[in-house]
Structures are given as structure tokens and as C-alpha cells.
Amino acid sequence: MLKRLFLISGTFFLVIILAACGGAAIESTSDEGEADSGDSDEAVKIGAILPFSGVYAALGEDLRDGMNLYFDSIDWEAGGREIEMIEEDTEADPQVALRKTRKLMDQNDVDFLTGAVSTAVAYAIRDEVDENKLPYVASHAGGNDLTREQRSDYIWRTSFSSWQIGNSMGEWVYENIGDRIYVTAADYAFGREASAAFIESYTEAGGEVVGEVYPPLENNDYASYLTTISNEDVDGVYGFFAGSDAARFVQQYDEYGLKEKFPLIGSTWLVAEDVRESVGDAAEGIYASTFWDYTLESEENKAFVEAYEAAYDRRPTIESLEGYDAARVIADALESLEGDTSDPDRIVEAISNATFTSPRGEFKFDKDTHHVIQDMYITETVSNDEGSENNILHTLEKVKDPGE
């Protein structure tokens, strides 16, 4: 067992890294016998359903690494009990995820569930979680209905909703960019939801949406869409794209000359770490909404960034932060319960009371929606000698999803 000592915000933490399994106390996925989940002699089992293969693999790995970092900092123990994490690869496939979730419940007898990057995956497992009263800390999937129409007593989301991402930009864009905007987004549920939330807040502020166009997901050539937008009389363009779509759109937006005509506005994934690295100066000048950024100046964020880079020799992403906070919510619940996981209703009550200062800012749940109330930030991407960074221009405090 390799042990490493590093400094977090003036306090030494012993980080235990199991070299054979990449830094986590991960239980094998072989069948296990049933255990009394309230027995303090047994480890608390956390099932992590994340994509470790396919298009979202990098996001799954960052979420896992963020969770590991927090659990490392508390020596994989909370409420007097050892913590074990059992990982399952969803492949971002709803049916695979449903099968893996059932396996975690039936064979591994997990006390908590966390993860899901894809909203479709989160929706697919919702009924199984609810019917079995399995406390589920949803750490990424942002589809609105997970904490609205599909809200469950046993599901609490620590990440974001598409409404928070889109709505937070509208008034600021009207006041700082202009009163005529063109909207474009990848044609899938989250892209549509985030765009609708932006349109709602932008038009309520007094702005006019001149036109909308929705290219297919995983599109390679945006030429025809960009040509259409280029001919419009607008003050800016709101675009929601993520991953490789974001990289291609930002690059082509620059190549076709739109960057010189209209400011590009979007979400954090439009200017994510890997996107900025791949597109270079094309990302300069983009405005985006986010709930965390590498450049946040708080002591909590500086400590998180320092610890993450020391542990993994790379910069954290927003998914890394999501995993870190999800782990803390679970650990804090265990502490308040003194390790007793025998009653799922008491577990979710303990989860609901989570409140702390996260690297993202103040963290608290809305007990009506089961969704995190959090600050949202407006950033501008600027170039520097090392590439680019996102500078925070504006903070919207305590943004609360309406839950309907």
C-alpha cells in the first residue's frame, strides 16, 4: 500500500492510495453475501454508476477521482465505519445502467448510490431507486425532471440542473451584450432544456431571440448553420455544446469569421479545460455560465485544486468538483447518523441537512426540490502565456431551481 502525505489548507491529510486499483477503496464486482447495513462492524458500501468507457469516459474518471480525493482526506471512514466504493461502468447506456444498479442493490447490498453522467441513465434508474428506497446522490446528470416531475424522496442532486445553467445567463446577456440574440444548441434533451431556460430569462429581461437552430448531436460540420447565423442582425450568439461538439463548434465559429462579428455565449462546457486546450485562441472572448471554475479565489477552492493536482498530476475539472462534493455529502450524512445506515428514510433526512462551504461556494439543498442551491458565475475566457483561463466577471448568489 502506497502512502502519500500532502498539505490541504494548512492541515496535513494522510492519503491512502491502493496502487492496484488507482487510488480508491474499490470492492470487486464479484457476488457478495448479504450484510446488515446497520452493522457498525461492516463497511458502508457506496455504489458508483459512472461511464468508464465510451464518449463520457473522461467525465466518469474525473467524477471518480474527485470522490476518491475526498474519501482519501478522511481515510475512508465516517461515522465510525469504513467506507467502500463499488464502481460499475454504465457505458452511458440506460439499460446497462439499470442492470448494474440492480446488481449493486441485489448482490452488493449498497447503502448509497451515486453517479450518472447521462440524464437518460438517471431517468432509467429512477424507479428502481425509488421503489427500493435506495439513497441516491446524483452527482452530474442535469435533466430538469430528475428533481421535478421525477423527483423521489430518495434522490438528491448535488450538481446542477439545465435550468440553472441556462437561466443564469439571460439577464446578464441582455444587460451586457445586447437585446438581439441568436440561439443554437446540440439537438438533445439537455441542449434543448438549457437553451429554453436561457430564452426564458433573456426574453423576460427584455431581449429578443431572433432565431434558433439545433444541429444534431455529434455533428462534424457546422458550416451551413454558421452561414445562416452570420447573415443575421444580432448582438451575440448563445450556443450550448459540450465535449467534442463544443470543440468543433468553437473552432468553426472562429474559422468562419463569426467570432469577429458576434460574441459567443454559452455554458461552462463550451470552455471546459479540454476544449480550451484543443481550440487555442478560438476560445478567447467566450462568455459562459458555471457553478465552479478553477480560478475561484476562495481558500476552499485553492486547497481543493492543490490537493487534486498533487494527487493526480493534472488540473481538476468541474466533474472532479462534483465528485468531491458528492463524497462529502455522503460522509457528512454518515457522521450525523453515527454510521447507522439501517433506515433509508433517516439517511435521506441526513443528506437533506447537508450544508458546508464547498470549493464552488456555499452548498445547501432545497428541501422541496432535493436540488442544490448554489452560486452561479459568469466567466470570460482570456488568453495568456500558458493558453487560456476563465475569468469570473459576475456572481449570481444562491440560484434556486424553481422545481416546476
pLDDT of residue 50: 98
Residue 297: other Cβ atoms inside 10 A: 7
Q: Half-sphere exposure (CA, 13 Å, Cβ side) for 268?
A: 22
CATH architecture of 163-290+377-399: 3-Layer(aba) Sandwich (3.40)
Q: Could you report the per-residue pLDDT of 97-154, keeping only the tens digit for each? A: 999 999 999 999 999 999 999 999 999 999 999 999 999 999 999 999 999 999 999 9
Question: How far apart are alpha carbons 359 and 56 in whole angstroms?
Answer: 23
> What value does the mean pLDDT take over residues 250-255?
98
Contact in structure between 219 and 248 (CB atoms under 8 Å): yes
pLDDT tier at 77, thresholds 50, 70, 90: very high
> Which residues contact residue 136 at a Cβ distance below 8 angstroms, ignoring those fewer than 6 apart?
112, 113, 114, 125, 129, 152, 154, 155, 156
Q: Could you report the per-residue pLDDT of 289-340, keeping only the tens digit for each? A: 999 999 999 999 999 999 999 999 999 999 999 999 999 999 999 999 999 9
Residue 54 confidence (pLDDT) above 80: yes
Question: How far apart are alpha carbons 303 and 294 in whole angstroms?
Answer: 11
43 SS3 class: coil
pLDDT of residue 38: 57
Question: How far apart are alpha carbons 199 and 213 in whole angstroms?
Answer: 13
CATH architecture of 2-160+296-367: 3-Layer(aba) Sandwich (3.40)
12 SS3 class: strand
- CA 252, 391, 10: angle at the middle one, nearest 5? 130
> Which residues contact residue 190 at a Cβ distance below 8 angstroms, ignoring those fewer than 6 apart?
119, 142, 143, 162, 240
Domain ranges of the chain: 2-160+296-367, 163-290+377-399
Residue 4 confidence (pLDDT) above 50: no
**Per-residue CA distances from 121 to 9, 59, 114, 191, 270 (Å):** 36, 14, 12, 16, 23
Select, from the ranges 8-22, 298-312, 377-391, the one with the highest average predicted confidence (pLDDT).
298-312
Residue 16 confidence (pLDDT) above 50: no
Got the DSSP string for 78-115? ETTEEEEEEEEE-TT-HHHHHHHHHHHHHTS--SEEEE
pLDDT tier at 55, thresholds 50, 70, 90: confident
Q: Is 349 exposed, middle or buried (0-12, 13-18, 19+ CB in 10 A)?
A: middle
Average model confidence (pLDDT) across the chain: 91
Q: Do domains 2-160+296-367 and 163-290+377-399 have the same CATH topology?
A: yes
Residue 176 confidence (pLDDT) above 70: yes
> What value does the mean pLDDT take over residues 365-379?
97
Question: How far apart are alpha carbons 139 and 319 in whole angstroms?
Answer: 8
What pTM value is reported for the model? 0.88
Residue 33 confidence (pLDDT) above 70: no
Residue 51 confidence (pLDDT) above 80: yes
Sign of CA dihedral 344, 52, 71, 371: negative
pLDDT of residue 333: 98
Question: How far apart are alpha carbons 163 and 190 in whole angstroms?
Answer: 9
pLDDT tier at 268, thresholds 50, 70, 90: very high
pLDDT tier at 40, thresholds 50, 70, 90: low
pLDDT of residue 39: 60
Q: Could you report the per-residue pLDDT of 17-32, keeping only the tens digit for each? A: 333 344 444 443 434 4
> What value does the mean pLDDT take over residues 258-282?
95
- Which helix or strand (DSSP H or E) is residue 299 part of? helix 299-312
